[in-house]
A and B are shown apart, each in its own frame.
Chain A
């Protein structure tokens, strides 16, 4: 079946602009995760959605970052007033919220802030 999809695959924006990144999880997966991977670095946890529970936002680096998940499916990560240090690959993953919670990743969105 279809895997996790993300759009756009690449985004170039000017410093100070807002951007929205989209994630479509695997159908039926109630858990959704956002991560950030800066050049040459490991994955940094940003936010975790689990069903109708309040999301775990503990990884968001600043109040310029926010995320929504509508209808328990599609998620949007919004970065306001982008800065150059926001340049990174943003990865989304989904999993079932039971048993192994095995994560399946999307291809990522490469964000470049000029």
Chain B
């Protein structure tokens, strides 16, 4: 049974710092992994999606990596800004491309 864990549950850093959010999963037989952000009271916004055959994806100040063998993904945020404050969720899709399991999220706060 796939389990997805995100550590830390909450993180607060000053503006301008680079930071890394972690996502780990127990079953390496995945189809893809997707990172989302969720603002309070809102739905989820897709940030990056990494297919199982890929090692990383980049979009602007965001870079997501995937290491299937170790069951880990990281989301790197460069030069953090207060607008990056949100909850970040990772979601793992199983190899059958059907069921998706979400981590419980990391609540990020960027201090001005």
A interface residues (Cβ-Cβ under 8 A, vs B)? 4, 33, 35, 41-45, 48, 50, 56, 58-59, 91, 93, 100-108
Contact = CB atoms under 8 A, between A and B. Distances in A.
Contacts of A44: 102
Contacts of B93: 101
B89 interface: yes
A56 B32 contact: no
B91 interface: yes
Top 5 nearest A-B pairs (CB, nearest first) are A42-B104, A43-B102, A105-B44, A105-B43, A107-B43
B43 A91 contact: yes
What size tier do the contact residues of chain B reach? 20 to 34
B91 A101 contact: no
Q: Is the interface of B mostly helix, strand, loop or mixed?
A: strand
Interface of B: 31-32, 34, 36, 42-46, 49, 51, 89, 91, 93, 97-105
Q: Find the residue from A42, A100, A107 having the highest chain B CB count within 10 A.
A: A42
Q: Find the residue from B36, B44, B101, B105 having the highest chain A CB count within 10 A.
A: B44
Contacts of B34: 102-103
Contacts of A106: 43
A43 B102 CA distance: 6
Contacts of A100: 32, 49, 51
Given A42-B105, A43-B89, A103 B100 contact: yes
Contact of A45 (B46, B51, B99): B99
A56 B99 contact: yes
Contact of B32 (A4, A58, A101, A104): A101
Nearest to A43: B102
19 contacts: A4-B43, A33-B100, A42-B103, A43-B44, A43-B102, A45-B101, A48-B98, A50-B98, A56-B99, A59-B99, A93-B44, A100-B49, A101-B93, A101-B97, A102-B49, A103-B34, A103-B91, A103-B100, A107-B43
B6 to A, nearest CB: 8
B25 to A, nearest CB: 13
Given A42-B89, A100-B32, A100-B51, A105 B45 contact: yes
